Structure 1
């Protein structure tokens, strides 16, 4: 069912000379969804985000927000706001004035815009640092200021271009929780570009996997993860093995592979790597056809019957764990 705040891309295309960066993609983002555009570098995800924001021109196709064509409107008139990867804070302005800047440009009086900026800083838990300059903030604090500055315009859609890439791993995990909390609290659509599979799985209600300027697969996050349709999606999302069998190509999750005796096993192979990951052990094996697969075993299962490099192993899985793949 459609909402008046849905965002729809219709045959959206971006060309740079002869290069096609985004190739006629069509997708409907339902209002209030946390969606991640996911894919490798150069797949077209950032160009797509920048076209939605109005920071990149549309070559062909349309962008509709609530049924209104916003394809050729300036960024400030679209009902979207963008948080940039580098945060782009003004170094000479205080935190409060950075957040209030867009209202200042719209001619909002000083008391009103400062009060509104203070509300936004409270939302991102930065109230006590309103008088500081950006250089006096940590990376995580700068990110919160950038978020508050994007949200002060009351956007219907918030666009985030790899917002966590500059943060250390510990802070990245914490800020994922903050982004999810904010999206739930505000109830607006978040569209978040990332090449990190873990980030997308942790945050998104829906993922849109892009490859070579097109959408390879989209849908609810768990559905796409559990049932990838192509070899690219299975391998890019990780945790899946793509196995070519005589009857066709399949994907099997790494945690669904189990070790058995080599004799009579569905597949036979030799151990090529063992990586201890705390709660799990990732065991890699080379099988027929020079294919390498990974089995993710609990530490208890592995160390109960440890395997050495070069050792012969059998591999099996439940029939329901395998998904047929298209080309």
Structure 2
């Protein structure tokens, strides 16, 4: 990528009266990286994105992009572009004119702005729809148009606020792949807000898990899933059991727990079975540790299945128990 698009947040803070929405967060996103801000509703992720965009003023701290302080600049002068959850396409304009609209506002001549719009529509595989109106497109197609419109200003960083939430599950998975492909081709820094753990793990070079206005963990996706730092991250990211071994909380991945009909181990009762296709989720009640979940490959489960109410033994390797910060 030709220009530096490193994004850095320095003690970034947002207060609404006495309420602290974002609490002095520090974050560095490498130039050209795909970053997902992940967390439950009200954790501060969308407020953080809006402060990066300039749609929300920071109460304290700084936003740096490409080594320049952009904290006080209006959105149009920051080098960022934002793609909103609602695509907000103009219903009376053609797809080409929708994409070119921001260039029209900047006074770019019609021939040039339509040529640039054509480039962007080709990038998102929407060339054939240039003359249509938004109402003639599906939700997935409208999303591609909104993406093209966000990219036409050639931003250093593209900011995406839950861009896939309005799509059906099948299309959401397909569009994840499209977003990642376009991000790689353009080499832009992407910052993507989501509450979907699957989305963040599938897309991000850097997953930032937020809780109550703070960053609980910022790391590559595999590290966040394989080595959650806190109990909150382990529970929110999913796929883990949090147990107390007597000296503090430990996370054990559900797919690392063996369920046996005999032998040595931790006694438990099967509460429920959920068939998930490639895997089977087994809900368990262990006398000493409470409710646990084991996830087994379907072949292994059906070779010797267990049923609700059955007594079983559980075991896992010591190295699969991951110590959590208090």
TM-score bracket, normalised by the shorter chain, equals over 0.9
Cα–Cα, structure 1 residues 54 and 186, in superposed 2: closer, same or farther, change >3 Å? same
Displacement of 1:17 in angstroms is: 1.4
Displacement of 1:248 in angstroms is: 2.4
Partner of 2:125: 125
Counterparts of 2:24 and 2:231 in 1: how far apart (Å)? 22
Counterparts of 1:291 and 1:196 in 2: how far apart (Å)? 27
Is the Cα–Cα contact under 8 Å of residues 244 and 289 in structure 2 kept in the other structure?
A: no
Partner of 2:90: 90
Displacement of 1:261 in angstroms is: 4.3
Is the Cα–Cα contact under 8 Å of residues 262 and 268 in structure 1 kept in the other structure?
A: no
Counterparts of 1:230 and 1:315 in 2: how far apart (Å)? 24
Is the Cα–Cα contact under 8 Å of residues 85 and 165 in structure 2 kept in the other structure?
A: yes
Is the Cα–Cα contact under 8 Å of residues 268 and 311 in structure 2 kept in the other structure?
A: yes
Partner of 1:216: 216
Aligned to 1:51, the other structure's residue is in SS state helix
Partner of 2:56: 56
Is the Cα–Cα contact under 8 Å of residues 269 and 311 in structure 2 kept in the other structure?
A: yes
Q: Does 1:283 align with 2:286?
A: no
Partner of 1:307: 306
Q: Which moved more, 1:135-144 or 1:300-309?
A: 300-309
Counterparts of 1:185 and 1:118 in 2: how far apart (Å)? 17
Partner of 1:270: 269
Counterparts of 1:153 and 1:104 in 2: how far apart (Å)? 11
Is the Cα–Cα contact under 8 Å of residues 259 and 313 in structure 2 kept in the other structure?
A: yes
Partner of 2:100: 100
Q: For each residue in 1:110-133, what CA deviation from the matched residue of structure 2 results, as whole angstroms up to 9, or x when unmatched?
A: 111010011100100001111111
Aligned to 1:300, the other structure's residue is in SS state helix
Aligned to 1:166, the other structure's residue is in SS state coil
Q: CA RMSD in A?
A: 1.2
Displacement of 1:289 in angstroms is: 4.8
Partner of 2:228: 228
Displacement of 1:247 in angstroms is: 3.0
Unaligned runs of 5+ in 1: none
TM-score by length of 2: 0.97
Is the Cα–Cα contact under 8 Å of residues 34 and 205 in structure 2 kept in the other structure?
A: yes
Counterparts of 2:288 and 2:16 in 1: how far apart (Å)? 40
Cα–Cα, structure 1 residues 262 and 245, in superposed 2: closer, same or farther, change >3 Å? farther
Unaligned runs of 5+ in 2: none
Is the Cα–Cα contact under 8 Å of residues 5 and 188 in structure 2 kept in the other structure?
A: no
Counterparts of 1:187 and 1:116 in 2: how far apart (Å)? 18
Is the Cα–Cα contact under 8 Å of residues 104 and 110 in structure 1 kept in the other structure?
A: yes
Displacement of 1:5 in angstroms is: 2.3
Aligned to 2:163, the other structure's residue is in SS state coil
The 5 Å alignment of 1:29-44 reads 29-44=29-44
Aligned to 1:232, the other structure's residue is in SS state helix
| Paired positions, count | 324
Aligned to 1:73, the other structure's residue is in SS state coil
Counterparts of 1:86 and 1:229 in 2: how far apart (Å)? 34
Partner of 1:256: 256
Counterparts of 1:326 and 1:310 in 2: how far apart (Å)? 35
Is the Cα–Cα contact under 8 Å of residues 14 and 20 in structure 1 kept in the other structure?
A: yes
Is the Cα–Cα contact under 8 Å of residues 12 and 61 in structure 2 kept in the other structure?
A: yes
The 5 Å alignment of 1:166-185 reads 166-185=166-185
